[in-house]
Amino acid sequence: MTSTFLPDKRTGPDTDVPPPAAGKARGRARRRTLNWFTAVGFQLPALVLFGVLVLLPILFALYAAFFRWGGFGMPSDYIGVDNFTRLFDDPVFLGDLWRCLVLVLLSLALQLPFALAMAVLLNQKVRGRAVYRMLFFAPYVLSEAITGVLFSMIFAPDDGLADRLLGGIGLDGLGGEWFADPSTVMATLFLVMTWKYFGFHMMLYLAGLQSIPRELTEAALIDGANAWQRFRNVTLPLLAPTLRISVFLSVIGSIQLFDLVWVTTAGGPDHHSETMAVTMFQYGFKRYQVGYASAISVVMFGISLVFALAYQRFVLRRDLEGATTTMRGGGK
Amino acid sequence: MGDPALSRRGFLAASAAAGLSMTALSGCGGDSDGGSSGTTTIEWWNISTTEPTKSVWAALAKKFEAQNPKVKVKIVQLENDAYKSKMTALTASGKLPDIFHTWGGGVLKQQVDAGLVEDLTDRTKPWADGLLSVAKEPYLLDEKAYGIPFDIGMIGFWYNKALFKQAGISTPPTTWSGFLDAVGKLKAKGITPLALAGKEKWPGMYYWAYLAMRTAGADALQKANDDKDFTSAEFVQAGQHLKDLVDLQPFQKGFLGAAYSTPTGQAAAVGNGKAAMELMGQWAPVVEADAGKGLGGDLGFFPFPAVEGGKGAITEVFGGGGGHALRQGAPQAAVDFLKFFASESTDLELVKKTGVLPVVPSAESAIADPNIKAVQAQLKGATGFQLYLDQAYAPALGQEVNDSVAALIAGSKSAEQVSESITKVAKEEQ
């Protein structure tokens, strides 16, 4: 049935085929159907997996966020937007948003410039720069859980490596309770994040730096530009696409931060290092208030989505032109 | 051109079909297990993943099989946290293992309410009556027994006798004001009085729960849960007493970030002689020796002091243990197994080899450690019992108690606010 039906529908692009050669056209159409089936057949497993494991849970969380639901059976106690109003009344969650913002700002203001400085430094002819590059990148390879365990030991009050080391060189005053003190926990956490991630951003920048043609810097040198001017007016603008991607990754990473916090402080002391993901975990898997936890995850998803779309639309547009956006300006 | 492609496709299809039928076949194999041949297989889910318990239990299962040739025991062992999440999933799916580990209380009640757990009251009565009554307490719901204990324990203070002597404290305190005095004396000698795992929150909750039992009476915590009201003056007083302790700054440096069983945690601080006391369960000596050096003969135990003017007595205990429950409709062999596991000979072996506290009173002769004997004596003479709050209460409420008591200890919540926030969550649940 399909073989007689489809050719009629598919004649659109095939109008150049003269009517007498209908058999040939039918053969081509059949091959096309076959190709279509092959394509669908190959894509189906991936599509089904993606649908079941990614799309469905997202949609379900969106649905569950409107219920009071303990995770057993199907959600049935519909409470409208109560979960969301409760969320924005909860000082812990508002604190999560604030801490997320702090981490983003600290990353942008300190961590990334530091990574850039190291990248510029290691792009010079320094003795043993390959070793340095490897050493600085190494922490990124460690899992966040292992990093967390490691630094819980290093920053253990009194007995940890950090306090012992500071004590050993007579700087006891700089030591402290690190993760255990509500006033220092965020700084300590940021220190560990920087240790772990600056190498990754440094690597990105190094790759970017190496794609900048030497001729441009040389030309600037001949024009009499000093080192700062060469960096500011040649290197930095050409590195901008890499910088924009790196900022993007850093922000999304800060929004979703979980493992490191969970292992080192579990959000403590007294919620002072809690992130949105930690709060979500607490409610979803410790208190079994899955509806409320879903609402948190929906807000996290929303923030990430809005940021990602806005960033792509307004910041990454130049870099992505022709790739994911329209071909506008492609002719230039 | 089409032929090789077709044949390749044919081959893929054939192998896919073969794979499917293999799974189908193996599925059948699993289902038909223990059906027609007259043997019954009972699945036994437990959390004894560590030695020596693991092999002792496996040997006991073998012994039971030898005594009951028509029964096979299939052991499934999961680590504590993995077990809890797996059981959550199983409860949601509506089918539990034949025999499964339980702590009783709220989680067991959830499973009972879902109609998934066998009522053991009549089927175990003849032999379960002789078991230590405080041990059976956690599995009694509406006067019906849904589980049989194999372990029971309680929370109390574990202290360093040498450090107490150094501070001039001759006998452990029996009243709260005496306890605060002792803390002051220890501090005066430059000794850290208490170790606390602030990161994990539950060890801090023990203080509040015991103080609530001592001020408001042993059944007040259960009653407050039923009434969804924790705002009575006694509960606020309990928080106030805890605040009095916190104000003395009795805990080790950095306690807010300390874990319980890590090398820099609460147990290690006591085990290494850096702190004089911890409020912990009967497992404390083992963990102290594992995470730290252990105190050996210097370690002592005393019950949580009474609060002057409070309704509770020093003989009322806060604790819990381990037990087994059966799924609704489990075979008779599973009940037989519970009987076997709670027999005197099994309990003697468990007490001797795995360090649990006896649930069969006559098995207490097997206890060698004087501290464990003291715990056992306290349990035997218990005049009241309260199960661990994270098991007695719904998960959200148990967590809120942990959370708000942690906030009180960190100084960000007052005693009144603790009572209020716990009540708020209690009212939200249902």
Which residue from A297, A7, A254 is spatially nearest to A111, judged by alpha carbons?
A254
Backbone angles phi, psi at B148, to 5 degrees: -120, 125
Assess whether pLDDT exceeds 60 at residue A4: no
Residue A2 lies in a domain: no
Residue B78 lies in a domain: yes
- Two tokens, residue B271: 């085990």
Question: Are B259 and A158 an interchain contact pair (Cβ–Cβ within 8 Å)?
Answer: no
How close, in Å, is residue A180 to chain B by CA atoms?
A: 4
Residue A135 lies in a domain: yes
Which range marks the domain in which residue B355 is found? 40-153+319-386
Q: What is the C-alpha end-to-end distance of chain A, expressed in Å?
A: 50
- Two tokens, residue B257: 């970030």
Nearest CA in chain B to A270: B407
Q: How many CB atoms are closer than 10 A to CB A110?
A: 13
Average pLDDT in chain A: 86
Same domain? For B394 and B296 the reply is yes
* Highest mean pLDDT out of A122-131, A228-237, B237-246: B237-246
Same domain? For B295 and B209 the reply is yes
How close, in Å, is residue B310 to chain A by CA atoms?
A: 30
**Residue A186 · residue A264 · CB < 8 Å:** no
Question: Are B199 and A268 an interchain contact pair (Cβ–Cβ within 8 Å)?
Answer: yes
* Residue B325, beta-bridge partner list: B100
How close, in Å, is residue A73 to chain B by CA atoms?
A: 6
Q: Quickly state the pLDDT bin for B14 (edges 50, 70, 90).
A: very low
What total number of domains does chain B contain? Answer: 2
Express each pLDDT in B357-414 by its tens digit.
888 888 888 888 888 888 998 998 889 999 988 788 888 898 999 999 999 999 999 9
Same domain? For B338 and B423 the reply is no
Chain B touched by A186 (CB under 8 Å): no
CB-nearest to B406 from A152, A270, A289 is: A270
Question: Are A287 and B264 an interchain contact pair (Cβ–Cβ within 8 Å)?
Answer: no
SS (H, E, C) chain A: CHHHHHHHHCCHHHCCCCHHHHHHHHHHHHHHHHHHHHHHHHHHHHHHHHHHHHHHHHHHHHHHCCEECCCCCCCCEECCCHHHHHHCCCHHHHHHHHHHHHHHHHHHHHHHHHHHHHHHHHHCCCCCHHHHHHHHHHHHHCCHHHHHHHHHHHCCCCCCHHHHHHHHCCCHHHCCCHHHCCCCHHHHHHHHHHHHHHHHHHHHHHHHHHCCCHHHHHHHHHCCCCHHHHHHHHHHHHHHHHHHHHHHHHHHHHHCCCHHHHHHCCCCCCCCCCCHHHHHHHHHHHCCCHHHHHHHHHHHHHHHHHHHHHHHHHCCHHHHCCCCCCCCCCCC
CATH number of domain containing A246: 1.10.3720.10
Q: Return the residue matching tokens 């239990």.
A: B57
Chain B touched by A72 (CB under 8 Å): yes
Which range marks the domain in which residue A256 is found? 98-142+180-274
Cα separation, B363 vs B287, whole angstroms: 24
Cα separation, A182 vs A172, whole angstroms: 19
Same domain? For B405 and B276 the reply is yes
Chain B residues inside the 8 Å CB shell of A160: 264
- Two tokens, residue B81: 């946290």
Residue A120 lies in a domain: yes
Helices (H), B99-175: 105-113, 121-128, 133-136, 161-166
- Two tokens, residue B343: 């027999």
Chain B touched by A142 (CB under 8 Å): no
Residue A22 lies in a domain: no
Cα-Cα-Cα-Cα torsion B300, B256, B203, B236, nearest 10 degrees, comes to 110
Backbone angles phi, psi at B378, to 5 degrees: -60, -40
Residue A189 lies in a domain: yes
Residue B379 lies in a domain: yes
Residue A244 lies in a domain: yes
CB-nearest to A288 from B200, B264, B395 is: B395
Same domain? For B329 and B310 the reply is no
Which chain B residues have any C-beta within 8 angstroms of a chain A C-beta?
Answer: 85, 88, 91-92, 110, 114, 198-201, 253-259, 262-264, 394-396, 399-400, 406-407, 410, 412
Chain B touched by A185 (CB under 8 Å): yes
Question: Are A265 and B257 an interchain contact pair (Cβ–Cβ within 8 Å)?
Answer: yes
Question: Are A152 and B410 an interchain contact pair (Cβ–Cβ within 8 Å)?
Answer: no
CB-nearest to A73 from B92, B254, B256 is: B92
Cα separation, B89 vs B85, whole angstroms: 6
**Residue A78 · residue A66 · CB < 8 Å:** yes
Chain B residues inside the 8 Å CB shell of A42: none
Backbone angles phi, psi at A77, to 5 degrees: -95, 85
Cα separation, A110 vs B22, whole angstroms: 58
Chain B touched by A270 (CB under 8 Å): yes
Question: Are A178 and B257 an interchain contact pair (Cβ–Cβ within 8 Å)?
Answer: yes
ipTM: 0.77
pTM for the full model?
A: 0.81
Q: Residue B4: how many CA atoms within 13 Å on its side-chain side?
A: 1
Residue A123 lies in a domain: yes
Which residue from B239, B231, B267, B232 is spatially nearest to B252, judged by alpha carbons?
B267
Cα separation, A322 vs A211, whole angstroms: 20
Q: How many CB atoms are closer than 10 A to CB A275?
A: 25
- Two tokens, residue B133: 């009554």
DSSP classification of residue B278: E
Chain B touched by A73 (CB under 8 Å): yes
Residue B9 lies in a domain: no
Chain B touched by A329 (CB under 8 Å): no
Residue B407 lies in a domain: yes
Average pLDDT over residues B31-35: 41
Same domain? For B221 and B122 the reply is no
How close, in Å, is residue B410 to chain A by CA atoms?
A: 7
Cα separation, B193 vs B238, whole angstroms: 20
Assess whether pLDDT exceeds 60 at residue A330: no
Express each pLDDT in B64-118 by its tens digit.
999 998 999 999 998 877 888 788 888 888 889 999 999 998 888 888 988 899 9
Residue B297 lies in a domain: yes
Q: Which amino acid is at B141?
A: L
Give Cβ neighbours of residue A164 (< 8 Å, ≥ 6 apart): none
Chain B residues inside the 8 Å CB shell of A73: 92
Question: Are A285 and B255 an interchain contact pair (Cβ–Cβ within 8 Å)?
Answer: no
Q: What is the C-alpha end-to-end distance of chain B, expressed in Å?
A: 68
Chain A residues inside the 8 Å CB shell of B199: 265-266, 268-269
Chain A residues inside the 8 Å CB shell of B399: 282, 286-287
Same domain? For B113 and B188 the reply is no
pLDDT score recorded for residue A3: 43
Residue B16 lies in a domain: no
Residue B15 lies in a domain: no
Cα separation, B129 vs B342, whole angstroms: 11
CATH number of domain containing B337: 3.40.190.10
Q: What is the enclosing helix (H) or strand (E) of B156?
A: strand B156-160
CB-nearest to B198 from A156, A159, A269 is: A269
CB-nearest to A265 from B110, B199, B262 is: B199
Same domain? For B283 and B360 the reply is no
Same domain? For B312 and B350 the reply is no
Express each pLDDT in B112-167 by its tens digit.
988 899 999 988 888 888 888 888 888 998 889 999 999 999 999 999 999 999 99
Three-state DSSP class for residue B44: strand
Express each pLDDT in A169-227 by its tens digit.
877 777 778 898 899 999 999 999 999 999 999 999 999 999 999 899 899 999 999 98
What total number of domains does chain A contain? Answer: 1
Cα-Cα-Cα-Cα torsion B51, B53, B54, B56, nearest 10 degrees, comes to 120
Q: Return the residue matching tokens 């948003």.
A: A97
Q: Quickly state the pLDDT bin for A20 (edges 50, 70, 90).
A: low
pLDDT score recorded for residue A169: 85
Question: Are A177 and B257 an interchain contact pair (Cβ–Cβ within 8 Å)?
Answer: yes
**Residue B421 · residue B400 · CB < 8 Å:** yes
Chain A residues inside the 8 Å CB shell of B262: 152
Chain B touched by A172 (CB under 8 Å): no
CB-nearest to A286 from B91, B259, B395 is: B395
Cα separation, A166 vs A152, whole angstroms: 16
**B413 Ramachandran zone, left/alpha/beta (phi>0; psi -120 to 50):** beta
Q: What is the enclosing helix (H) or strand (E) of B212?
A: helix B202-216
Which residue from B426, B422, B423 is spatially nearest to B394, judged by alpha carbons?
B426
Residue A233 lies in a domain: yes
Assess whether pLDDT exceeds 80 at residue A141: yes
